[in-house]
Amino acid sequence: MAIPRIDSVRALVLQLCGDDQEHRYHEMEGRIVNKLGLTADDLAEKLSNGRTKSLQNRVYWSFRRLEREGKLTRVRPGVYRIAAAGKSLLQTGPETITLEMLEERPESIEEAQTPEERIEESHKAINEALADQLLDQLKAGTPAAFEQVVVDLLVAMGYGGAHPMPGAVVGRSGDGGIDGIIKQDKLGLDSIYVQAKRWDASVGRPAVQSFSGALTGLGAAKGVMITTSRFTDDAKAYAQHLPHKLILIDGDALARLLIDHRVGVTTTKTYTVNRLDSDYFENL
């Protein structure tokens, strides 16, 4: 049989989460395969980009939509549990779950959009989902891996470009909170010191103050503090009034930078939108 449509996959995901247990979306594909008796040929079906498996893609976006509409709750990165609203929807015994059933938006609004506007909205949704995936991946990895990603990002952004070895991870016990160093000139006379905090809780002023003290102890003029979570208002206010330059990058900004500078992401397909060249025809 063919891979089910996305509205059918949503219903399957919600049904299989109906046991009120925690479920990983990476494991859900196998459960759907067993439930439907899908074959190897079915699983080989891919999107038009030729790289992404159709079932894997539909399972992921089913979790995303059901979470967004409050039918599933994300317990921790990649792990979900059915919510009260999801249980209520299950009681109707749906074989498919459409966007209208999820009350995503009135149909009239979608019809009012131009094709270009729909493309832009879809692109935004894809990047928002990718940002969440990136943060989940960073939180699930090791501290050392996170520190390496942060250094790779700063180098990809152009920092340390003149040095033969522009960036290095140095995080270790007793390092004063320094996780990485970016050399900005060939002799290493000017450096940016980096601290990477792989946290879920907000980063407050004490943590920022501690890193600032480490910079002062090193005689450093520039520092970057990056977290997978967020900074409190008090922490941000403190960072603005220091004798040295200290930039704070929260999880949302980190994910955007990773996408913009293509660190930890890959392009699966590029769409070109053409328009009529009126000047060409007017000059004929």
Mean of pLDDT over the chain: 85
pLDDT at 245 over 80: yes
Q: Report the interhelical angle of 25-36 vs 54-68 (nearest 10°).
A: 120
Domain 113-284: which topology? Answer: Trna Endonuclease; Chain: A, domain 1 (3.40.1350)
- Percent of the chain at pLDDT > 70 equals 87
**pLDDT tens-place string over residues 8-42:** 999 999 999 999 999 987 788 889 998 889 888 88
Which positions ≥6 away from 224 have C-beta within 8 Å?
A: 154, 192, 193, 194, 195, 246, 247, 249
Contact 231, 199 (CB under 8 A): no
Question: pLDDT tens across 110-167, in order?
Answer: 455 667 777 888 888 899 889 988 998 998 888 889 989 998 998 898 887 655 556 6
Closest of 32, 104, 100, 28 to residue 69, by C-alpha: 104
Biggest CA-to-CA distance, the chain: 73
**30/26 Cα distance (integer angstroms):** 8
- Give the 3-state secondary structure of residue 245: strand
Closest CA to 147 of 174, 172, 183: 172
Q: For the chain, which residues make up each domain, given as ranges?
A: 6-112, 113-284
Specify the CATH number of the domain 6-112. 1.10.10.10
49-94 per-position pLDDT tens digit: 777 888 888 998 899 889 989 999 988 777 899 999 999 999 999 9
Are 123 and 34 in contact by the 8 Å Cβ rule? The answer is: no
Angle at 86 between CA 6 and CA 104, to 5 degrees: 55
Q: Residue 188's pLDDT band (boundaries 50, 70, 90)?
A: low
H or E stretch covering 182: strand 180-183
